[in-house]
Amino acid sequence: MARANLKLVDCIRKAATKIENEGNYQWGHMGGCNCGHLAQEITHLSAKDIHQYALANRTEGDWSEQTAAFCPTSGYPMDMVISMMLEAGLDISDLKHLEKLSNPDILNAIPANRRYLKHNLKEDVVLYMRTWANQLEEKLLGNISVKIEEIQMESV
């Protein structure tokens, strides 16, 4: 799973909110789909630019196919987008899972009656992304340890 960090959690949450509140979600559009919305938040590129970059790549297809052909030194614009997403803390499997809403750890954190998600249904994408962001945030919080005694001594 992704390397938990505040920026990534924030980007995932912002992407989920945009998908939920704006009418520009389109699963078949490389810049307006599940990964496309997250890519917009991480890279600050428009949906149109991301889609054009995908079309200019040597490989056609969805994010799973684009990531399968990913080469960080290719010079292709879509590989640059993927590189920026990896630098933000994601890994290739995160992108493949996000596109299909298929990460078992995230799915297991969703209530059983909602676990069978449709990868191209806005409401399901939002639920998946928010659950993922919560998991990453919990991971971050689990790494924080504060010694109460030290805090009490400093305040005296």
pTM of the model: 0.88
pLDDT tens, residue order, the chain (156 aa): 789 999 999 999 999 999 999 878 999 899 999 999 999 999 999 999 999 999 887 677 889 889 998 999 998 999 999 999 999 999 999 999 999 999 999 999 999 999 899 999 999 999 999 999 999 999 988 766 655 555 565 655
| CA angle (77, 79, 80) in 5-degree steps | 65
CA distances from 101 to 30, 87, 145 (A): 16, 21, 32
